[in-house]
Structure 1
Amino acid sequence: MASLLTTFFSHYLLLFLLLIFAIVLPSRCANATQKEFLSSYHTVDVRSLLPSDACSSSKALLEGSDEQRLNLVHQHGPCSPLHRKKNLSHEQILSNDQSRVDWLHQRISSSTSKQQDKLLDSLGSATIPARSGNSLSTGNYIVSIGIGTPKRDFSVVFDTGSDVTWIQCKPCVSHCYPQQDPLFDPLQSSTYANISCKSPYCSQRRCSGSGCLYSVQYGDGSYTVGFYAQDTLTLTPSNVIPNFRFGCGENNSGLFGLAAGLLGLGRAMTSLVSQSYQMYGGVFSYCIPPSASSMGYLSFGSSSAMTNVKYTPMLAKPNTPSFYYLNLVAISVGGQQLSIPPSVFSTAGTIIDSGTVITRLPPDAYSALRTAFKQNMAGYKSAPGGSLLDTCYDFTGNKSITIPTVELHFDGSVTAKMDASGILYFISISQACLAFAGNNDTNRMAILGNTQQRTFNVVYDVSKKMIGFSPGGC
C-alpha cells in the first residue's frame, strides 16, 4: 500500500513539475526574447526625431546643471542666440560637411604653411578676396564666452578639431564677415595686450611692428588673420582665465553662421585645453543634444557626472598633434557584430571631431554597415538618397518606427550604443537617411561626427590620455 502511494505521489509530483515548466519556461523565453529585441532595436515616435520650433532642456541636463557648465546649442536651432534670417538647406549643410572632412584629411596629408604665409602678408591690405566659404557655418554647435575687462559676451563655435581660439576684432582692416554680436574692441578692455615678437608664445609665428601675427585657413578658403593677443577669458562666473592667448581677427572671411569666432579645443599648446591645464587638468566634457531644438553642455574639469564613463585610450600622431585619435575596432547592427577585418579600421585610423556632422567610415566598413542596416529596414519604403547620404527611407504615415541599434566598439572593450537620434539624419518625414558615409579611399581616416555623439557625455582626459563615453548625458 505504501509503495502504491509513493508511486502515485511521484507521478503526481512529476506531472505537477511538468505543468509548472510548461507555464513558466515559455513565459521566461518570451521575456528573454523581448529583452533581446528591446536591446537590439529602437522604437521611437517619428515626431521626436523631427525638428521643432520650440527650445527644450532635457531632464538629465537640468538635473546635472552646475556652475562649471556652458550651454551648448545648435547655432541654427531655436535655442541659439544667433538669429539668421534664412537657414541653410540640408544640401548646403551636407556639402559644407564634406568641405570640412576634406580639410581634415588634407591637414593629415599635407602642410598648410605656405597658405598661412600668404594670409599673414595680407594683414593691412585687401589682397585676399572675400569668399563665401562656410565649412564652419553649419552642423556645428556654439557656446557663449566672455572676453575682456569688463567682459563682453560672444557666441563662438566650439571645435575639437582646431587649436587657436579667435574672435573678430576692431578695426577690420580689409574685411569682416557679418556677425550678430558687436565686434570686440581691444581699446575697451583694460586687460588686453598684443603679444610681443620677443615673447616665447610668438616663437613659431610671424611678426609685424605692432606685434605677433596669427592666421588660420580652412578647407573651403575661409580664413581668419590678425594679431595674437591675450586678455581675460570668462567661461562662467566662477571660471575665469587671465592672460588667455587668442587671435584678434582683423581680416576674416567665411559664413560662420553669425558666430563671433571659434573656441579651439584641440591638443596643441595654443588651445584652451592646454592653456587651462593648471586649472582643469586637461579634462573637459560635453553633451551634444538629440536635436537642434534642445540644449546640451560643455564643461571643464572633473565632475560627478563622470562616474559611469567607460574609457578608451586617447591616441596621437606626430604629424597631426591637434587631433584626438582613438581605436575603432568593430561595429554592430541590431545586436550583431559585422564581419569587418580589424585591418580595415587600423589602416585608416579614427578621430573624434565635434565639427563634422556625418560620421565617415572606411569604404569596406561602411558597405557592411549599409548592407546590415538595409536588411533590418526592409519593411520600410525606401527614398532617394543624395551625393553624401545614400540609404534613405520614407516614413510618411508612420507614427512610430523601429530601427536597429548601431554600436561602435572601441579599444578597451568600450561600446558606444548610438541613440536613435544619432542613427538617422532627417531631411524630412519622407527622406530620413542613415547618418553615416563612406570615405572614397581606404587610407583616409575615419571620423566620428557629432550626429553619432548625440546624448553621450563625452569626456576627454588629456592627462590620462583617455576618451570616455556614458549614455544619457542630455
Structure 2
Amino acid sequence: MAHSTQLYRNRLLALAAIVFLAVRTDASSGIGFDLHHRFSPVVRQWAEKRAAAHAPGSSWLPEEEAPRQGSLEYHSALSRHDRALFARRRGLANNADGQMSTYTFADGNATSSSHLDGYLHYAEVEVGTPSTKFLVALDTGSDLFWVPCECKQCAATVNTTYSPRQSSTSKTVSCDNPLCDRPDECAAAMANSTSSSCPYEVDYVSANTGSSGVLVQDVLHLTRENSKQQSVQAPVVLGCGQVQTGDFLNGAAAGGLMGLGMDKVSVPSVLATSGIVASDSFSMCFSSDGVGRINFGDAGSPGQAQTPLFVPGNSRSTYYNISVTAISVDNSKPMPVEFAVVVDSGSSYTYLSDPAYTLLTTSLNSRVSDPKADYSGQLFEYCYSVSPGQTNVTVPEVRLTTKGGAVFPVPWPIVPVYGSIDGGPDQPIGYCLGVIKNDNDVDTIGQNFMTGLKVVFDRSRSVLGWEKFDCYKDVKIQDSVSPNTIPWSSDTASGSPDNAPWSPDFVPFAPLTPLPRIPSMSSSSSSAFGGLSLMLLLVLLATSMAG
C-alpha cells in the first residue's frame, strides 16, 4: 500500500490502467474474456476521459510513477508486490476460520492496475435498486465485499456512495442472522443504539488499514451470457462501509473492495451456490503473448491432467496447495524432490526453496546456450544476454511431477529483460529464469509458470487441473518434449503490443510502492464471516509498452 499527498492522482492511477474484457459466449467453458492491454489506445482513451473529468488538464498516467515495462526496475516492482502478497497470505492464515448459462457483471468486466496500492485488479460493479456503480478493488486475501456507504470517514476521492435506504432491494442483516458471527459486538451495538444491524470490521495487513460498518443484503447486477443478454439480480451480502482507515483514506480501494475468497458469502461462491453457474470452479488461460482468458463455472475437460488440492498440516488454510514429487527438464529423467507449493495466479513469479530451487535452476542453466549476463540489481540468479540480431531463444521446458503422477508442464520458465542501448528505444537485451529463491515458508508457483496453460481451479472436487491450451482458438495444444523456440526480435520491440512478435513480459503490472518483505504475523482479515481466501480469478496480463 502507498501513501500519497496528491489524492486526486491516486484516483487517476486507480482508473488509468483499466483493461477492457470483450465477453464471448462459450456454452461449454463459461465466460470468455479477451483482455486489452492497459497501454492500448482503447484503454488510454477511456482513462484520459475520466482523468479529465476529475482533474482537468491532468495526465492519465504520470510517467515518473511507472517503471519501464520489462526493465529491471519493473521486475523489482513485481517482486515487491509478490512479497507483500505473501505477507498478507501469512497474516490471513494465522487468523483463518477455517452446462448452464454463465454470468458477468452488468457493465462487463474491467480490471485495472494501480501503482499506489497493493491491489492489482479492479472491476466495475452495480449494486442495489436503482443500481449504483462502483470501481472496486478485487482482493484475493479476504472474503467480504464492501463499498463506501453512509460515510463517517471515507477517502476524499470517493464520489459515489451506497445508501441502503435508497435501495428498494436492501435488507438489514440482523444480529440473530446466521451470517452474523459477532454476537458480542452486536450486543454492545444494540445496547448503545436502536439499531439491530450486524456490525463488521475488517483489518488488513497494511498498517492501521481497515473498514468497518454494518452488513446489508442487496443485489449485485449480472448479465447472462447468451444471445438475449438477460439481466439477473444476484443476492449478496455486503458491508456498508462507514469508516475507512489507513491506506483506504489515501485512495486505495476508494470505491470499495470485493473479497474473492472461498467463504460461502464471497461473490464467487454465491454464483455457484445459487446455481447461476453449473460448477464451483473456474479456469484461467494464459497465452505466451500476455493475453489471457478467464472462465467462471469451467470444470475443465475429461482428459485434462490433475492433482489433488490439500490443506497443509492442521491448518485451516484454503489456498490452492498441491504436492510436487519430482522435477525434470526437457526429456530428462525426473529428479525426485518432494515439496508443497501454492498455485497462485496473483503472484508474478515462482518462488522455490532448497533443495527444489537449486535442483531446478542448475539443471536449466546447464541446458541454456546463451551467454550468462550480470544485470545490476537483478532479482534472478540466472540471467542471459542476447545479441542485437538474435531472432530466437531456445529454452528447455520444465516439468513438475505432482502427487498422483500427473505432470505439470512449464512451457515458458523465463522472463525477458528490456533496456535501452546507446540511448535508443527499449528492446530485449536478455532474459532470466523466472524463479526466485524463496526466503519464507511457503513455496509458490506464480503466473509466469502458468503461461501457455489453461489451469482449472475445481473447488467442488478439490482438484487442480491443467492442459496446454491455445487461448485464442479455445483448443488444447498437443504436448511436445522439444525445447521451446521463442521468436525474438529487437527490431519490433520498441513498444507496440500490436506488432511485437513476442511479448516483453508475461506477468501482471504491479504497484511501485516499496512494500515490506515478510513482516511478523500482524493483522489480517477479521470480517463478519471470519473469512480466509486464496489466490483466485482475475489477472492482468501485461504485453508491452505503448509507443
Superposition pairs for residues 65-214 of structure 1, below 5 Å?
Answer: 68-69=30-31, 71=33, 73=35, 76=38, 78=40, 85-86=61-62, 88-89=66-67, 90=74, 91-108=76-93, 110-111=94-95, 134-136=117-119, 140-158=120-138, 161-176=140-155, 178=157, 182-204=160-182, 206-207=185-186, 208=189, 209=193, 210=195, 211-214=197-200
Structure ranking higher in helix proportion: 1
SS in 2 for 1:270: coil
Distance 2:222 2:446 in 1: 25
1:437 is matched with 436
Distance 1:286 1:212 in 2: 35
Contact in 2 for aligned 1:267/1:324 (Cα 8 Å): no
Give a deviation string over 1:182-215, Cα, whole Å, max 9, x none.
4445454322334222211012474445522333
SS in 2 for 1:377: coil
Distance 2:411 2:125 in 1: 29
Structure 1 counterpart of 2:404, from 399, 402, 412: 412
Contact in 2 for aligned 1:71/1:143 (Cα 8 Å): no
2:539 is matched with none
Structure 1 counterpart of 2:317, from 291, 299, 321: 321
Structure 1 counterpart of 2:304, from 306, 309, 314: 309
1:266 is matched with 261
Mark the runs of 5 or more structure 1 residues left unpaired by the alignment. Answer: 1-52, 114-131
Total equivalences in the alignment: 386
Structure 2 counterpart of 1:370, from 348, 361, 383: 361
Counterparts in 2 of 1:196 and 1:289: CA distance versus 1, 3 Å? same
SS in 2 for 1:341: strand
Considering only CA atoms, is the larger Rg found in Structure 1 or Structure 2?
Answer: 1
SS in 2 for 1:200: coil
1:402 pairs with 2:382 = no
1:463 pairs with 2:460 = yes
Distance 2:288 2:251 in 1: 20
TM-score (norm 1): 0.68
Amino acid at match of 2:260: L
Contact in 1 for aligned 2:199/2:215 (Cα 8 Å): yes
SS in 2 for 1:468: strand
Deviation at 1:340, TM superposition (A): 4.4
Superposition pairs for residues 206-245 of structure 1, below 5 Å?
Answer: 206-207=185-186, 208=189, 209=193, 210=195, 211-221=197-207, 222-237=209-224, 240=232, 242-245=234-237
Counterparts in 2 of 1:96 and 1:226: CA distance versus 1, 3 Å? farther
Deviation at 1:241, TM superposition (A): 5.5
Deviation at 1:358, TM superposition (A): 1.5
Deviation at 1:405, TM superposition (A): 1.1
Amino acid at match of 1:107: L
Give a deviation string over 1:191-248, Cα, whole Å, max 9, x none.
2334222211012474445522333344333444333322212343358463212334
Counterparts in 2 of 1:426 and 1:384: CA distance versus 1, 3 Å? closer
TM-score (norm 2): 0.60
1 or 2 for the larger relative contact order (CA 8 Å, sep ≥6)?
2
Distance 2:452 2:156 in 1: 32
Deviation at 1:150, TM superposition (A): 3.6
Counterparts in 2 of 1:433 and 1:63: CA distance versus 1, 3 Å? farther
Distance 1:271 1:54 in 2: 23
Mark the runs of 5 or more structure 2 residues left unpaired by the alignment. Answer: 1-16, 49-59, 68-73, 98-114, 225-229, 420-427, 472-547
2:297 is matched with 300
Amino acid at match of 1:433: C
Deviation at 1:355, TM superposition (A): 1.9
SS in 1 for 2:347: coil
Distance 1:256 1:409 in 2: 43
Give a deviation string over 1:429-454, Cα, whole Å, max 9, x none.
2353322222225xx12222223223
